[in-house]
């Protein structure tokens, strides 16, 4: 399967295994999960349809998002576009009785995949990730179960999320891994500690989630005091009262670089990621059609290399204030620590 090329010739499509995808994909999580009150169903469907028509061909969801609601939304809305897109979802972290549970046991992976196929209204998932490493289950067992899904024709290619280079190599020895999805942005540089090099060596795509730093690098960075009770950023140290003011000062310098380069802060951040290698694919999420178009317009811009370099010096793992997750969540993450913030 080859997905439709994006309209802009300035950034060639990128590859995930056998698939050719748009250089910027769409993360669908915040249409159902994590960042406050989700948009209306009508608005979410409009955004997804607009993304397809604008040339996006990689759509990313997961069983966890909305505890199945996001897969159902994406499946229902994009069913008529199925032959134009690469559809990615995730197993290994789901909602159980209202709680987030990491479970990489083979039986759970098989059951989650069958449930996902039903919600996504498809007979095969193009790219299926293990959402988190279950430290109680050897990665070889989890990936082995996922490989069985490939053999059964339920999944086309496999991926991992939030794992280290060492875990990636162990998994790749069991079954070829097409994509590694890790958090990667100007302020989250963990992939630079090993997985960026490993994916390049092994021919694996690095799909960058939260490329706009969870909204921090957009035109309207979040105001922590205004975040809803269920917004996951309330528990992220970079947004707390101790660290956020200092991070906003760094953001002001990034915004100045963007203005001088003739682009928005978000476009500068996305262009920086695109410059990290032709296998790096950012998947920003948004609820706004205007922001979607702004993000995709990055592909038409020629932002000076000097601006990208300057942005990377102003905001990085050593200048950012606070770790990306709280202590309990960091214990669940397998990625390499990075900088003074971990």
Distance in angstroms (rounded) separating the CA atoms of residues 299 and 293: 10
Query: What is the β-pairing status of strands 205-209 and 125-130?
Result: unpaired
How deeply is 132 buried, as exposed, middle or buried, from its count of CB atoms within 10 A (0-12, 13-18, 19+)? Answer: buried
Place of tokens 């790749």: 172
Six token digits for residue 168: 């990636």
Distance of CA 36 to the CA centre of its chain: 18
Cα angle value 111/98/60 (rounded, 5°) = 55
Length reported for the chain: 342
For residue 208, the cross-strand partners are 182, 282
Which residues participate in catalysis according to the annotation?
Answer: 65
**How far apart, in Å, are the Cα atoms of 93 and each of 163, 293, 296?**
14, 31, 29
Q: Which of 84, 128, 82 is nearest to 109 (CA)?
A: 128
Continuous H helices in 194-304:
195-202, 244-261, 265-274, 289-296
Q: Are 288 and 44 in contact (CB under 8 A)?
A: no
Distance in angstroms (rounded) separating the CA atoms of residues 112 and 166: 26
């Amino acid at each position: 399967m080859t997905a439709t090329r994006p309209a802009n010739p300035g950034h060639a499509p990128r590859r995930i295994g056998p698939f050719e995808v748009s250089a910027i994909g769409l993360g669908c999580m915040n249409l159902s999960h994590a960042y406050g009150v989700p948009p209306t169903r009508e608005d979410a469907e409009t955004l997804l349809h607009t993304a397809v028509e604008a040339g996006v061909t990689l759509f990313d969801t997961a069983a966890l998002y909305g505890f199945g609601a996001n897969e159902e939304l994406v499946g229902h809305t994009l069913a008529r576009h199925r032959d134009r897109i690469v559809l990615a979802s995730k197993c290994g972290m789901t909602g159980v009785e209202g709680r987030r549970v990491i479970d990489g046991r083979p039986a759970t992976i098989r059951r989650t995949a069958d449930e996902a196929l039903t919600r996504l209204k498809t007979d095969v998932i193009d790219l299926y990730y293990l959402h988190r490493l279950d430290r109680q289950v050897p990665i070889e067992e989890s990936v082995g179960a996922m490989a069985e899904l490939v053999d059964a024709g339920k999944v086309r290619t496999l991926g991992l999320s939030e794992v280290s280079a060492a875990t990636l190599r162990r998994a790749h020895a069991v079954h070829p891994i097409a994509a590694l999805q890790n958090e990667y942005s100007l302020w989250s540089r963990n992939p630079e500690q090993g997985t960026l090099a490993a994916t390049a060596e092994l021919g694996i795509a690095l799909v960058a989630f939260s490329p706009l730093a969870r909204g921090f690098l957009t035109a309207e960075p979040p105001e922590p005091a205004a975040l809803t009770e269920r917004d996951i950023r309330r528990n992220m140290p970079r947004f707390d009262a101790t660290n956020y003011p200092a991070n906003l000062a760094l953001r002001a310098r990034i915004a100045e670089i963007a203005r001088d380069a003739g682009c928005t802060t978000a476009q500068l951040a996305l262009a920086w990621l695109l410059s990290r290698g032709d296998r790096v694919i950012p998947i920003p999420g948004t609820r706004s059609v205007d922001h979607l178009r702004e993000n995709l317009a990055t592909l038409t811009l020629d932002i000076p290399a000097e601006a990208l370099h300057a942005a990377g010096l102003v905001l990085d793992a050593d200048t950012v204030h606070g770790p990306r997750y709280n202590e309990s969540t960091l214990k669940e993450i397998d990625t390499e620590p990075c900088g003074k913030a971990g």
